[in-house]
Amino acid sequence: MKALVAVKRVVDANVKVRVKADKTGVDLTNVKMSINPFCEIAVEEAVRLKEKGAVTEIVVVSVGPQAAQEQIRSALALGADRGILVQTDDEVGALEVAKILKGIVDQEKPEVILLGKQAIDDDSNQVGQMLAALMGAGQGTFASEVKVEGGKVQVTREVDGGLQTVELALPAIITTDLRLNEPRYAALPNIMKARKKPLDTKSPSDYGVATGTKLKTILVEAPADRKAGVQVKSVDELVEKLRNEAKVI
Amino acid sequence: MSILVYAEHDNNSILSATLNTVTAAQKIGGDIHVLVAGQNAQAAADAAAKIAGVSKVLLADNAAYGHQLAENVAKLIADLGKNYSHILAPATTTGKNVLPRVAALLDVSMVSEIIAVDSPDTFKRPIYAGNAIATVKSEEAIKVITVRGTGFDAAAAEGGSAAVEAVGTVEDAGVSSFVGEELAKSDRPELTSAKIVVSGGRGVGSGENYYKILEPLADKLGAALGASRAAVDAGFVPNDLQVGQTGKIVAPSLYLAVGISGAIQHLAGMKDSKVIVAINKDEEAPINAIADYWLVGDLNTVIPELVSKL
């Protein structure tokens, strides 16, 4: 069984981003970029499924600039078998990414497709669900446990009130939540080996998809600053402030 | 212009996030219809009909919608949604699961987690875990949108008198089925919708300490319990309690950060809280910079004292 994993190159989670002075976006020059943390969990899960014998090949795909091959190489170092970079410097919306992934699914015919639940840059939380819709396949979003057996997959999902388990026919889409696993670190020898693994470069037009999006970002602003707070000296003073000044208790 | 709001409900009642979504719909302006999809959900539909500002309730009552599986419900919403200019749902796990699927079925882009409505096609939403606010304009014919509940006040749950209309369509995609669920038994409110959150960090010291010290405070305040990533990574608490960029985003009326230094990762998940209180033994902790009130002291003595004075 083949697994397809989608990974995104994003600003590192520990970087405090700054809004550009002209308010067209955030400043990403000379900022550390990494594999999106939820995508890392998706790669790890695919590798674990392979270690259990449920999956035989892992294909990792990224849509983005030439530099996104670094993130594909990271995934290869963690245990993926080969990579596909759909290279573009244009903006690509979630719907368009889902359409590109649909094109890859049609060619590669994976049975399990793993994505992160959301990218920590645009915070959309859309691509996995959209891909599932385009495929007419089942979706196990916000997964905290995945069991593949007997031509089906059981996914335990993190929902607002607790956990929900659904069973999906294959092929199915799974989007990962934080509790699913703890991603491993790539060992140096594996990083070296990953350099020799195959990585194809494609373009969105290879899948008949035009880049861009019908969501136009008009303005990007810094969030409003909070007004300066005060230090309280005692528990009594804190309780008094919360009751009478802030009126929150 | 007419707007379809997908209701979050438990078959018996309408959950509060739906009320915030109705307010967002009112800001867009137009006729507001609410869709209740479920099994034996008449009571929820009746409750939806009473929400102020709603002109019609559509009830799709069928076993296929029993657990609101995305595969079945999304097809229903997409079919009905063709006649609307806007399709809205709360940005709960249900809304987030279903709506992108609806958007793709309609072949339109979607706007996630709006916090403000500028005009019927222009919305504000946080990006980079709230470190920037984007204003986006949708050029799609049908605007598919999830609404962050903390961005809008709740519409009045009483006062409306909408008609309830049954929807006969039944969609069963046949690719998914419900196996079971394990809902948290806690009497405490759910973390993302709680009005008060008590959160502990590495400074709490241990898992045992976390529960011993923070639980009484949470109980007293009727608050949800949260944690920083440091507390989760140290094994004090399970990571479904994690508040932060990779955990849950909360915006309660009151957020009490106890023994939390205030790393960027954590602030991203709670800095929209109305009032932030930091209790920390370190006078220089970064969390103090965004706190409305901060108290420097040993949490082992300060928290029990606080509990006794509430």
The strand pair at A172-176 and A138-149 is best described as parallel
Q: Is A208 on the interface with B (CB under 8 A)?
A: no
Q: What's the mean pLDDT when you consider all of chain B?
A: 94
* B226's tokens: 């949260």
- What DSSP letter does each residue of B34-92 carry, written as one string? EEEEESS-HHHHHHHHTSTT--EEEEEE-GGGTT--HHHHHHHHHHHHTT-SEEEEESS
Q: Domain B2-166 is of which CATH architecture? A: 3-Layer(aba) Sandwich (3.40)
Q: Where in chain B is the domain with CATH 3.40.50.1220?
A: 196-309
Whether pLDDT at B185 is above 70: no
Closest-CA residue to B249 (of B234, B262, B266)? B266
CA atoms of B203 and A212, how far apart (whole Å): 46
Considering CB atoms only, which of B99, B103, B137 is closest to A95?
B103
DSSP A26: B
Q: H or E segment at A64? A: strand A57-64
From the CA of B43, how many Å to the nearest CA of chain A? 20
CA atoms of B245 and B177, how far apart (whole Å): 31
Quick one: average pLDDT of B151-164?
A: 94
Interface subset of A 51-90, CB within 8 angstroms of B: none
Task: Select the residue from A11, A127, A149, A160 to test the B interface by mutation, using most B Cβ atoms within 10 A.
Answer: A160
Count the domains in chain A. Answer: 1
* A133's tokens: 């819709």
| Confidence (pLDDT) at B169 | 85
Please give the class, per CATH, of domain B196-309: alpha beta
CB contact under 8 A, B292 and A159: no
Closest-CA residue to B91 (of B56, B136, B126)? B126
Quick one: average pLDDT of B74-78?
A: 97
What's the Cα-to-Cα distance from B158 to each of B23, B52, B155, rounded to whole Å?
14, 6, 9
Whether pLDDT at B182 is above 90: no
Partners of residue B305 in chain A, C-beta under 8 Å: 235
CATH of the domain at A125: 3.40.50.620
- What DSSP letter does each residue of A78-105 carry, written as one string? HT--EEEEEE-SS-B-HHHHHHHHHHHH
Q: Where in chain B is the domain with CATH 3.40.50.620?
A: 2-166
Partners of residue A166 in chain B, C-beta under 8 Å: 69, 176-179
Q: What share of chain B is helix, strand, coil (3-state, %, to 5)?
A: 35, 30, 35
Q: pTM score, two decimals?
A: 0.92
Written as tens digits, the pLDDT of chain A (249 aa) is: 999 999 999 999 888 899 999 999 999 999 999 999 999 999 999 999 999 999 999 999 999 999 999 999 999 999 999 999 999 999 999 999 999 999 999 999 999 999 999 999 999 999 999 999 999 999 999 999 999 988 999 999 988 877 899 999 999 999 999 889 999 999 999 999 999 999 999 999 999 999 999 999 999 999 988 888 999 999 999 999 999 998 888
Q: Is A215 on the interface with B (CB under 8 A)?
A: yes
The nearest alpha carbon in chain A to B244 belongs to A13
Domain span at A217:
2-245
CB contact under 8 A, A219 and B135: yes
Q: Does residue B96 contact residue B72 with C-beta atoms inside 8 Å? A: no
Q: What's the mean pLDDT when you consider all of chain A?
A: 96
The strand pair at B116-119 and B196-200 is best described as unpaired
CB contact under 8 A, A162 and B183: yes
CB contact under 8 A, B71 and A223: no
As for the ipTM of the complex, it is 0.94
Closest-CA residue to B270 (of A32, B286, A212, A118)? B286
Q: Across the strands, what pairs with B178?
A: A166
Beta strand ranges found along chain B (DSSP E): 2-6, 31-38, 56-61, 86-90, 110-114, 116-119, 122-127, 132-138, 143-147, 163-166, 176-183, 196-200, 224-227, 254-258, 275-280, 293-296
Q: Is B301 on the interface with A (CB under 8 A)?
A: no
Partners of residue A160 in chain B, C-beta under 8 Å: 92-94, 190, 192-193
Backbone phi, then psi, for A240, in 5-degree steps?
A: -60, -45
Partners of residue B107 in chain A, C-beta under 8 Å: 95
CB contact under 8 A, B295 and A231: yes
Whether pLDDT at B215 is above 80: yes
CA atoms of B213 and A43, how far apart (whole Å): 38
pLDDT in tens, B121-147: 999 999 998 889 999 999 999 999 999
